[in-house]
Structure 1
């Protein structure tokens, strides 16, 4: 019968003079890889939300610009400037938050576009260059 140290086996160094492997290291690479993947996914999600917000801001600005221009054009006729602006803003996928006539010659609008986590807003004004002040 062979006698050796208690607990000696080929797995943990088995008396060959090689130090036993640390039991706590098993699977550490997997945990590290999962943590890195989770970090990349979180970063990617944050960047996607940022891109979505920037896109919504751009759509809101376009809707505001077109709404203000449409309203100012309606002022030149005898139309309802804010009504025309609201219709134009709505057709561009936004909601008119405010519309006001400035000096009877300019239209100032503020619009809002819904996005995943919230809302994006923009403002614009339009009218003849002589009305600037």
Structure 2
């Protein structure tokens, strides 16, 4: 019976390790998704500020963030520079990201 107990212990340890690895991997993917959503939202807001696209900059940022699976937590415009903070959720995980966009210089 001790061989069975050892095998079960190894199986449980392996499953626990793999579950942790999957969660860490998912957290990394979610973080990148939030960063991409923040970048795109900031670019959309900056485009709205400069008149490239019509509409309110922060509304545009919210639309683009939502299309990328995120929610805008904060949006500010200073001159032609837009700054956006977003968060994305997946299950029990949450990732936040911040991005700025504006004309070069």
TM-score of Structure 1 vs Structure 2, range by shorter chain: over 0.9
Runs of 5+ consecutive residues of structure 1 not aligned to the other structure: 1-26
- Give the superposed CA RMSD: 1.1
- Indicate the structure whose relative CO is greater, using CA pairs within 8 Å and at least 6 residues apart: 2
1:81 Cα offset (Å): 0.8
Higher helix proportion? 2
Structure 2 unaligned regions, length at least 5: none
Q: Could you state the TM-score of these two structures normalised by the residue count of structure 1?
A: 0.74
Measured in 2, the distance between the counterparts of 1:92 and 1:80 equals 19
What is the correspondence of 1:93-108 to structure 2 with a 5 Å cutoff?
93-102=69-78, 104-108=79-83
Match of 1:84 in 2: 60
Q: Which runs of 4+ in 1 moved over 4 A?
A: none
- After superposition, what is the alpha-carbon deviation per residue over 1:35-61, rounded to whole angstroms, capped at 9, x for unaligned? 000000000000010111111111111
> Alignment length, in residue pairs?
103
Structure with the larger strand share: 2
